[in-house]
Amino acid sequence: DAKTTQPNSMESNEEEPVHLPCNHSTISGTDYIHWYRQLPSQGPEYVIHGLTSNVNNRMASLAIAEDRKSSTLILHRATLRDAAVYYCILTNAGKSTFGDGTTLTVKP
């Protein structure tokens, strides 16, 4: 399975943008890039996903490198409720493997 690499932790100030990086150098042409987040004592929550083009939704934006070997999740204005573990995963025909994720701390 293709793997992803993320920083263990990141910090942000409230109401500032946050860029969460993810490397996936062994991605295959049919792998989708997904981002999920997990708040304490909850199951993971879908954030966004894409294949090749940048994607936007009400929660975040996903910027995908041209060679698809890396991507960045962008939270435009971090709030205290965005503090969570963020997972970048690759999915192919349904199968996906979660890594350790990035723990995002948001400071007021």
Partner 1 sequence: DAGVIQSPRHEVTEMGQEVTLRCKPISGHDYLFWYRQTMMRGLELLIYFNNNVPIDDSGMPEDRFSAKMPNASFSTLKIQPSEPRDSAVYFCASGWGGKYTFGSGTRLTVV
- For binding to partner 1 (CB under 8 A), which residues are involved? 32, 34, 36, 42-46, 49, 87, 91, 93-101
Determine the Cα–Cα distance for residues 31 and 19; give it in Å rounded to an integer: 22
Nearer to partner 1, 93 or 108 (CB): 93
Q: How far is the CB of 30 from partner 1 (least distance, A)?
A: 12
Nearer to partner 1, 23 or 98 (CB): 98
Structure tokens at 32: 């989708």
Determine the Cα–Cα distance for residues 89 and 42; give it in Å rounded to an integer: 18
Nearer to partner 1, 72 or 96 (CB): 96
Q: What are the backbone angles phi and psi of residue 18, rounded to the nearest 5°?
A: -130, 130
